[in-house]
C-alpha cells in the first residue's frame, strides 16, 4: 500500500539508491590535476575526454549497491506481511550501514594510496540519507505491528 508512510520511505530509499548505479559516487583530484572517481564499477581514472578508465574493482561495494534498491523494492510489496517486511527492512539497515562504512573506507584508502583530495558532491551524503530513511521505515513498520497486536488483544 503506497499510502503507508513506510512504503514512501522505502520507495525513496529505492529511488535514491538507484542514483548510485549511474555516475560517480566519490570524486578525487590530485595536485597534478589527475581526477579519480569511485563509481558502481569501481575506482577509475577520468581522462581528458571524461572517459572512465577502470583502475580497480570494488566488488563488495557494487554488490551492496545492487542489493539495497532490490531489497527495498521487495520490502515495499511485502506490505501484507509486516513481520517479513520488518526483517527485510532490518537487512536493508544492515546493508546501509555497511554501505556507509564501505564508502568511507574506500574514500580513505583512495586518498591515502593515490595522494588525492576529496571533491565534495551531493552523492557522498546519500548513503547516510538511505540509512536514515531505512531506519524511519523500520520504526514505522514496527509501530504498525504493535498497533495490530494491540487490536488483537482487544478482540
Report if residue 42 sits inside a domain: no
Report if residue 155 sits inside a domain: no
Cα pseudo-dihedral 132, 134, 135, 136, rounded to 10 = 90
Name the H helices within the chain.
5-18, 59-76, 82-114, 126-154
Distance CA 2, CA 73 (A): 12
Report if residue 36 sits inside a domain: no
Whole-prediction pTM value?
A: 0.91
Report if residue 15 sits inside a domain: yes
How many CA atoms lie less than 13 Å away from 104 in the CB half-sphere?
A: 9
Report if residue 41 sits inside a domain: no
Distance CA 10, CA 132 (A): 11
With vertex at residue 111, the alpha carbon angle to CA 95 and CA 25, rounded to the nearest 5 degrees, is 45
- Output the pLDDT for position 152: 73
Domain membership of residue 131 as a residue range: 5-22+59-114+121-149
C-alpha grid cell for residue 35?
581526477
The per-residue pLDDT for range 98-129, each reduced to its tens digit, is: 999 999 999 999 999 999 999 989 999 999 99
Q: Is the pLDDT of residue 154 over 80?
A: no
Report if residue 17 sits inside a domain: yes
- Output the pLDDT for position 102: 94
Q: Is the pLDDT of residue 155 over 80?
A: no
Q: Is the pLDDT of residue 1 over 70?
A: no
Q: Is 52 left (phi over 0), alpha (psi -120 to 50) or beta?
A: beta
Q: How many domains does the chain have?
A: 1
- Output the pLDDT for position 139: 96
Report if residue 143 sits inside a domain: yes
Local confidence band at 2 (pLDDT 50, 70, 90 cut-offs) = low
Percent of the chain with pLDDT over 70: 96
Report if residue 52 sits inside a domain: no
Amino acid at each position: 500500500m503506497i499510502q503507508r508512510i513506510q512504503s514512501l520511505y522505502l520507495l525513496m530509499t529505492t529511488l535514491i539508491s538507484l542514483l548510485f548505479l549511474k555516475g560517480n559516487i566519490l570524486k578525487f583530484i590530485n595536485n597534478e590535476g589527475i581526477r579519480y572517481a569511485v563509481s558502481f564499477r569501481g575506482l577509475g581514472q577520468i581522462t581528458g575526454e571524461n572517459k572512465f578508465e577502470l583502475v580497480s574493482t570494488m566488488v563488495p561495494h557494487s554488490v551492496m549497491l545492487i542489493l539495497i534498491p532490490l531489497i527495498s523494492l521487495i520490502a515495499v510489496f511485502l506490505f501484507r506481511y509486516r513481520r517479513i517486511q520488518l526483517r527485510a527492512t532490518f537487512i536493508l539497515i544492515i546493508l546501509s550501514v555497511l554501505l556507509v562504512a564501505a564508502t568511507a573506507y574506500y574514500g580513505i584508502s583512495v586518498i591515502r594510496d593515490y595522494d588525492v583530495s576529496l571533491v565534495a558532491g551531493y552523492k557522498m551524503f546519500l548513503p547516510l540519507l538511505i540509512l536514515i530513511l531505512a531506519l524511519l521505515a523500520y520504526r514505522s513498520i514496527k509501530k504498525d505491528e504493535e498497533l495490530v497486536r494491540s487490536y488483537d488483544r482487544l478482540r
